[in-house]
Amino acid sequence: MEQRPIGSLSVSVVGLGCNNFGWRVDAAATEKIVHAALDAGINFFDTADMYGGTHSEEFLGRALSRRRSEAVIATKFGWTIDDRRKGARPDYIRRAVEDSLRRLQIDQIDLYQLHKPDPSVPIADTLEALDALVRAGKVREIGCSNFSAEQIRQAEAAVRSGAARFVSLQNEYSLLHRDPESGVLSECVQRGIAFLPYFPLASGLLTGKYRKDLPAPHGTRLTSGGRFSGRLAGPNMDLAERFAQFAAARGRTLLELAISWLVAQPAVASVIPGATSPGQVKANAAAAGWPLTADDLAAVNAIVSTNN
C-alpha cells in the first residue's frame, strides 16, 4: 500500500481508526481486526485515551504486542475522561502520556495529538510540554485535532525555534462533510502539515449499506438512535445515493469512492475509517485503489453543487 509522510513518520494511505475498540469491539475481536489490518498493508493505527473508556488503548496495545515494529501508533489526549483527566495543562500532559504509554504497552508514542483545543491554556504552554516529551524520547511527533485554520496559525506562531511543532491535523472530512475546504486544507498545504480525515465514511453512511429507498440495516451506529442518527437525514441520503450511482456507473463502489476521493485531496496523509470486523478493515484497505482523474473529481464536485 502507498505510504505518505507525517513529519518523520511514514504511514499507509489507509489507516485504522480505533474508536470502536473497547466499546463496540472486545479485546479478542480487536486482535483479529488489528492483525487483518497489518496483513492488508495498514500500518497506521489511530486511537485516543478516552476511546472505549480508556480500553481502546489497552486492547490495541495487547493486539500489537508481538507486532509493534510493524505499526505506527497515534493516540490523543485532552478530551474529558473524568473531572481530573482532561485538557491541555502541562502537568496533565505529563500524566496523560505516561497513562497512554502504560495502556499501549510501549515505550514511545509515534504521534501524540491534542484531541481538541483547550482555551483555558496558552497554546505555547501546551507546545512546550509536548516538546519536552519529544526531547525525552517518549513521543516521536506531535499533532492536533479539531483545530481551525486560525488556531493552526496561532500554534505555529507559538513554537520556539528548534522545538517540536504540530506535524498533523485531524478533523472531520468526507464527501458529505466538506468544512476543511474552507481554509483548513490550504493552511495545511502551506505549512506542510499532514491532514488526517476522521469520520471519512460519515459514520457508515458512505459504506454503501444505506440506500435511499431501502430499509436501513438494524444494529448499526446510524440506526442506534444516538448522536449519529441525524446523518440519515434526507439531504445526506440524497447525496450518498448520487455518489453511489456515480461510482456504480464506473464499475466501482461507494466505499471505493469515499476513500479514494479523500486520498486524492491535498495534504491528506492517511484516511482512518473504523472497523468492527476483519472483513471491514480489508475492504477499507482495498478501497484506496481507484486513481481518480481530474474529470472524476470535477464530476464529484458537480454532484455536491447541484444538490445544494
**Phi-psi category of 70—alpha, beta or left, where left has phi over 0 and alpha has psi -120 to 50?**
alpha
Does the active-site annotation cover 92? no
Write the CA distances from 218 to 12, 30, 222, 272, 276, integer angstroms.
32, 22, 9, 24, 15
The answer to whether 44 and 72 are in contact (CB under 8 A) is yes
Of the listed 51, 173, 198, 210, which one is catalytic?
A: 51
Quote the CA–CA distance of 120 and 102 in Å, as a whole number. 27
Buried b (16+ CB within 10 A) or exposed e, 6-27: bbebebbbbbbbbbbbbeebee
Residue 79 burial (10 A CB sphere; 0-12, 13-18, 19+): middle
**In the chain, how many H helices and how many E strands?**
10, 9
Query: Which residues lie across from 293 on neighbouring strands?
Result: none
SS3 assignment, position 17: strand
| Cα 39 → chain centroid | 20
DSSP 138: S
| Cα 237 → chain centroid | 23
Residue 113 burial (10 A CB sphere; 0-12, 13-18, 19+): buried
Quote the CA–CA distance of 239 and 79 in Å, as a whole number. 32
Active site members = 51
